Amino acid sequence: MKKIILSFSLIASISVFSQEHFSGISTSKRGGLLSAANNPAELANMTTKYEVNVFNFSVAMANNKLSISDLTSDDNIEDKLFEGNDPVNLRLDTQFFGPSFAFKKGKWGFGLNSSAYLKANAVNVDNELGEAISNGGLSNLFTQTNLSSNENQRLNATTWGELSFNIARNLMDSPKHKINVGTNIRLLFPGAYANFSASNLNGTLVNNFGDISLINASANINISYAGVLANDFSDQGNYNEFFSQGINGYAFDLGFNYRLKDENDANSYKLNTGLSIKNLGAMTFKSDNNLSKNYSLNIDGIESLDINQFENVQSMEEIEAILNDPANAGILQTTSSSADVKIKLPTVINAYADLRLHKKWFVTGTINQKISDDTESDITTTQNSYSLIPRFSSGWFEAYAPLAANEISGFTSGIGFRLAGFFIGSNSAISALASDGKQADFYLGVRFGF
């Protein structure tokens, strides 16, 4: 279990330059497939008849504990991770957009996208419990610590691939106004999944000179896994499984777009706004080792749960074996078990407005608000974010500086550039370097239109 907890920190340290996906470029005046991924109605605003996406990559990390210097220093990461009173929250989110194609025909826009996703998360992990599992065996003290949490504490990772069909339709196009609607129809290819969670955990941790036990405790526990993440949660190579299980899920995005046109400049606008609902869907994993099992933990009297037995665990299968050990039968009862592992995507409302201030100067405001509860054990996670993006935009060159407030790590500021079809940027490079922030991001891509 120690390696499972620390794998989040290790992955995050590798991906240290990361956060908000394609911020700035996804609301660019240029439009195209990236804008359609943000809001499918934008596909009807393509500035060229055809667009080819060669490769886009974005990696994002946000947390409430570890700063950039923590991740790059020689200090013990787990000591930093479990400092303070706030529970640990960490989100690692990576997106790959592969070869994709879009075209316009009359009032219609059509696109075909290939993509892959990786998410790894620590959600509301109690500091005392994490510290006990990570470093308890090294302690030479006798202590008792009360645990009391109504949260669902989760360690979770998901990988999957997608094939998306984009359709947009222009409904009105007058000299002053333009209205579009659109949808993304997404075929989901489950890759691998792992989840370990404990909700409503109450009890007492007893440290008897390095022997850690849990007494007078109760909790609801879930363990779920599918694919290679069942075998070794901390092996980074296992996070490369994206399309291994074929099509076994569907998702939809719905979008609306309104544009106040510039009657004196057909290639620009005064205001461009959009509203989309994203990630309406779920996927079911169908590997041979699927498992989803719930337990009820009840420890009374002289009974106890030995926490040290989780210290060197490296896989979900090992955790399940410990929970099913006859020695723990008196305190852990299975309440349900299934070979079906069905995971919901996090439904998000995305809204934005891009206002032209003067000639080639613009400012964009965006809101990404989740409407699903990502503390539930059967859902992938995301975070709320709010951005203000001043931008200079010409035909071939674009520069922008995103300013954002994020649910987990607070304020960030970054910078990005576009030169023709090549773009590169970060939503948090400036704040990460200037103030040693707890969030970072990096993205780049190549595309061209004709």
| 30 vs 365: CA distance, rounded Å | 17
Tokens 């439009």, residue? 31
Residue 379 per-residue DSSP state: B
CB neighbours of 288 closer than 8 A, spacing ≥ 6? Answer: none
- Phi, psi dihedral angles at 88 (to 5 degrees): -80, 130
- pLDDT by 10s per residue, the chain, length 450: 544 444 444 444 333 333 357 888 888 888 889 899 999 999 999 988 999 999 999 988 888 877 777 766 666 666 677 777 788 888 888 999 999 999 999 999 999 999 999 988 888 888 877 776 666 544 556 778 888 888 888 888 899 999 999 999 999 999 999 999 999 999 999 998 989 899 999 999 888 877 888 999 999 999 999 888 777 666 655 566 677 778 999 999 999 999 999 988 877 899 999 999 999 999 998 888 888 999 999 999 889 998 888 877 878 888 888 888 888 888 999 998 888 889 999 899 999 999 999 889 999 999 999 887 777 778 887 778 899 999 999 888 999 999 988 888 788 889 999 999 999 999 888 887 876 777 878 999 999 989
The tokens describing 433, both together, are 């370097």
C-beta atoms surrounding 329 within 10 Å: 11
The tokens describing 384, both together, are 């709320």
The tokens describing 442, both together, are 């990096």
Residue 16 has a pLDDT of 35
| 339 vs 327: CA distance, rounded Å | 25
Residue 317 has a pLDDT of 85
Give the residue from 177, 232, 189, 233 showing the smallest Cα distance to 98: 189
Letter string b/e over residues 57-82, b meaning 16 or more CB atoms within 10 A of that residue's CB: ebbbbbbbbbbbebbeeeeebbebbb
Handedness of CA 207, 213, 217, 220 (dihedral sign): positive
- Phi, psi dihedral angles at 431 (to 5 degrees): -65, -35
C-beta atoms surrounding 128 within 10 Å: 17
Contact 331, 367 (CB under 8 A): no
Helices (H), 15-74: 33-38, 68-72
Helices (H), 181-315: none
| Side chain identity, residue 3 | K
| 28 vs 354: CA distance, rounded Å | 9
Give the residue from 50, 1, 38, 10 showing the smallest Cα distance to 273: 38
The tokens describing 283, both together, are 């996927």
Domain ranges of the chain: 2-449
Contact 318, 248 (CB under 8 A): no
Q: Beta strand 415-419 with 397-400: parallel, antiparallel or unpaired?
A: antiparallel
Contact 142, 207 (CB under 8 A): yes
Paired strand residues for 164: 113, 186
Rg (CA), the chain: 24
> How far are the Cα atoms of 17, 24, 33, 385, 387 from residue 402, in angstroms, in the given order?
15, 6, 20, 12, 7
Residue 239 has a pLDDT of 62
